[in-house]
Structure 1
Amino acid sequence: MATPLVTVICTANICRSPMGQAILQAKADAAGLKINVNSCGVQALTGKRPDKQALGALERAGYSIGEEKRAEQLLMPQANATQLMLVMESRHKQWVVQNYPAYSGKVWLMGHWNQQSEVADPIGKGPNEFDACLKVLEGDIDLWLPKLRALL
């Protein structure tokens, strides 16, 4: 059986979703959960590297994302290949459901287990906001890990 794929989704795929990708992959690996994690955007700045502030927040917290990571648009092949899509905001979920209705059952808020909370976009802000965003992602991902073990 192929390794399950989880896709983390935000708007441009340069801040929240690459951070979520790096954190989820690291935490899943540490927990012995065999999954692959990628990330995409609903309005991706295709080809761009993650935001320097996002990379800094990851580095400060001990995470890394490969040099090869570039922003990708969520397209049909990714939607089809993934077992679970974790989005940052309700509007991202609406976009996926509208564009790929067949996959609506795969789309969940990252903060689903945290009172359906959304992950605020830190774009254009400073290190403190990026660090705070990373902490929110860590908390949401910690709540997802036991669910992923049962789901995937």
Structure 2
Amino acid sequence: MQIQSVLCVCTGNICRSPLAEGLIQRDAPTMKVASAGIGAVVGGKMPVPAAAIAEREGLALDAHRGQQVTRPMLQSFELVLVMEAAQKDWLCTQFPESRGRIFLASHWTGGEDIIDPYRLSDDIFESAYAEIDKGVAQWLARLQPAGTGKHGTG
């Protein structure tokens, strides 16, 4: 699968989707990547637990601010990764032309929803991040040519 661009989507675009975006930026630096929310906290910063994870993991997200997903945004990406089945359903209803490009971030790791850690404990943030990391790693292993990036083989 040759994909050059990925949009990561969650609810508020301040916790899960920016972490997924940061992982892809770090591990596949030549890939076009962005994130957005279906009910975005527009202009919002990442909560402290998410920002701490990003800093610890070397994800360049200091300047991240929440943004709302739009039709032009969706149309400019080849693959859209969502964190929950309900987000996929919403996007497919609102933007049916993008239906074939929208998948769960956890598609290759069991297809379960990744819990929204917003306003929950640091442990929940860590658990959500671990699931995002696993999902992104599996996507990148399938998207990148052999021998490229952190998750390539060869």
| TM-score of the superposed pair, with normalisation by structure 2 | 0.87
Return the letter of the residue paired with 2:39. Q
Query: Quick one: distance in 1 between partners of 2:70 and 2:99?
Result: 14
2:102 to 104, 107, 110: 107
Structure 2: distance between partners of 1:96 and 1:119: 17
Cα pair 1:8 1:39 within 8 Å, conserved: yes
Gaps of 5+ in 2: 146-154
1:36 counterpart = 2:32: yes
Percent identical = 29
Q: Is the 8 A contact 1:58 1:134 kept in 2?
A: no
Shift of 1:102: 0.5
1:70 corresponds to: 65
CA distance in 1, matches of 2:56, 2:127: 12
CA–CA distance in structure 2, aligned partners of residues 80 and 48 of structure 1:
24
Secondary structure at 1:86's aligned position in 2?
A: strand
Question: Residues of 2 paired with 1:47 and 1:63: CA distance?
Answer: 19
* Number of aligned positions between the proteins: 143
Task: After superposition, give the CA deviation of every residue in 1:100-128 in whole Å (9 maximum; x if it has no partner).
Answer: 00010110000000111221111111222
| Residues 2-151 of structure 1 aligned to structure 2 (within 5 Å) | 4-29=4-29, 34-67=30-63, 69-149=64-144
**1:55–1:64 CA contact under 8 A, matched in 2:** no
**CA-atom RMSD in angstroms:** 1.5
The Cα shift of 1:11 comes to: 0.4
TM superposition shift of 1:60: 2.3
Provide TM-score, normalisation by structure 1: 0.88
Structure 1 residues 120 and 126: alpha-carbon distance in aligned structure 2, compared to 1, 3 A threshold: same
State the Cα distance separating 1:70 from its structure 2 match.
1.1
Distance of aligned partners of 1:128 and 1:64 in 2 relative to their CA distance in 1, 3 Å threshold:
farther
Once residues 6 and 86 of structure 1 are traced to their aligned partners in structure 2, the CA distance between those partners, rounded to angstroms, is 7
In structure 1, distance between residues paired with 2:66 and 2:34: 10
Aligned counterparts of 2:53 and 2:124: Cα–Cα separation in 1: 9
